[in-house]
Amino acid sequence: MTTFEIKENFLLDGKPFKILSGAIHYFRIHPSDWNHSLHNLKALGFNTVETYVPWNVHEPKEEEFDFSGILDLKAFIEMAGKMDLKVIVRPSPYICAEWEFGGLPPWLLNKDCRIRSSDPKFLEYVERYYSVLFKILTPLQVTNNGPIIMMQIENEYGSYGEDKEYLEQIYKLMRKFGVKVPLFTSDGSWLATLRAGSMIEHDILPTGNFGSKGRLNFKELKEFHNDHGKNWPLMCMEFWDGWFNRWGEPIVKRETEELLEAIEEVLNLGSINLYMFHGGTNFGFMNGCSARGRKDLPQITSYDYGAPLNEQGNPTEKYYGIQKLVHKMYPNINQGKPLIKESMEVNNIPLYKKVGLFEVIDDISHKTTTKYPLNMEKLDQYYGYMLYRTRVKKDSDKERFRIIDARDRAQVYLNGKHLVTQYQEEIGDDIETNIKEDSNQLDILIENMGRVNYGHKLLADTQRKGIRTGVMSDLHFILNWEQFVINFDLIDNIDFSKKWEKNIPAFYKYKLNISNPKDSYIDTSKFGKGIVLVNGNNIGRFWNRGPMDTLYIPRGFFKEGINEIVIFETEGIYSEEINLVDKPLFTKLEDNSNIN
């Protein structure tokens, strides 16, 4: 039986083992590409892969579990093991990861519990999830001759709370469900976060998360170890080799030469996990959101991260630089030739059909009628869009409407005509319009642009989406609302023979014949805002604010023969033809910034 221990060093079968790890999130990469990414990690000379496990996609609705397809965690870990890669798993209830709600399932927002705390109700939900999750993980531990060598208790908890009872309960649950490998916590490498987030008193290894100044960060981590009488190895569990990106901001870049110097500094002192090695894509509605003051700042679909492998999974300049560094520092490590995938271009794909959202709303949604509008979570609509509809009577030639307390983005229409689009900071402002008809249809399309994934706002009421209080006409709340829960899994139900009008959210269908599918990127620069579905698969959001003008499409979402691309666009901006291009395109914004 293989053994893995934490003593003065990491020990694999009793021998010192320097962990050279890279982060690959199986849920951000099409399963047909897992082998490609893992091979390239092995070819780098690394010996371990690390992954988070996002609770929200594995239990999307309460007590409905999914570990299939892109969520087949077992298959991913087994594939890594067959390549002789060890695996570090971070199955904590919260993952951050610039992932929607930090991986917490939004149905928790309907529960009377405090997340990430020792609240017994929250722990009850965690235990139910863990009872399913660890049936998959525990047989794959190194103690069972599997590849998993370590698991995480909680993620950067020292940057959130200091509820040690909560951490202890998570620890006990993991042991209850059969976790026998060494456990760790990961936090910023300064005293306040280490004290609040570690479990060193339970002999659980504290690790550090940082992207530079390895000597200084490891010095503080070592002092924390020593203060508790521990002589343990040092590890940077997240070495940030790039950074994530937000809408309307320039792509963040990190220079290769500076990165290599920083990695070498870390490797001279301890072990490393490159975050990210392959970033991948926030498919569907899984992009997270930053918080700055009172404002939420949604992140983009691409999770390229400036990583050694680009979003497509191909090696970058950073990859080859790290490969040379590893060879210089550890000349006896076996390295290999990385795999490189091809991309395809398909130009001038004509528009096949188009139809307005309001015409087909009944085809693609479930309708609920209530006196007052309900937020999305109350109607089990956890992601994407919801349409609110009511009728208002004319009281004067000029009416004033106000949306009270809604998130994140509202598009308002009166009798099918666009009045205004309001973002989080504008929602609540007066909406003045002239009214001619005695009875009028008021439509409000609300988009959930992504929940906060880090910090105190995880507990904020702003993470509940949709209309949360109501809509006013003059000084009174409007009653009797129809709420349409839009489900993009129903796009095959859309009747494209119905009407299309200008400046109204709409669906645009394109068809193309592909004989040899390859990876590609759809150019969205001629559209405003919305999502793209390829053969029914939601590949993510686009927005003409930038910084990207393309969405990545893995070849696994294409098929030989006729393929359908449906674009749901909300601004009334579209093109009579689309192009698939062989590389990403970027919006021209301000000069790129650098991270330190």
Residue 558 DSSP one-character state: -
Taking the CA atoms of 211, 40, 278 and 184 in sequence, report the sign of the dihedral they define. negative
Q: Which long-range contacts (CB under 8 A, 24 or more apart) does 114-117 make?
A: 114/459, 115/458, 115/459, 116/154, 116/157, 116/160, 116/161, 116/163, 116/166, 116/458, 117/161, 117/163, 117/166
CA distance 97 to 523: 26
Please answer whether residues 435 and 394 qualify as being in contact, where contact means their C-beta atoms are separated by less than 8 angstroms.
Answer: yes
> Which pair of tokens denotes residue 167?
């951490």
CA distance 322 to 22: 12
CA distance 243 to 21: 18
- For 342, list phi and psi in degrees, rounded to 5: -90, 160
| Residue 324, CB-side half-sphere exposure with 13 Å CA sphere | 11
CA distance 37 to 571: 37
CA distances from 306 to 80, 251, 263, 351, 484 (A): 23, 9, 15, 34, 39
Q: What angle do CA 170, 284, 293 make, to 5 degrees?
A: 65
Q: Any idea which residues carry the catalytic annotation?
A: 156, 238
Q: Which of 503, 564, 570, 505 minimizes the C-alpha distance to 539?
A: 564
> Which pair of tokens denotes residue 192?
């306040």
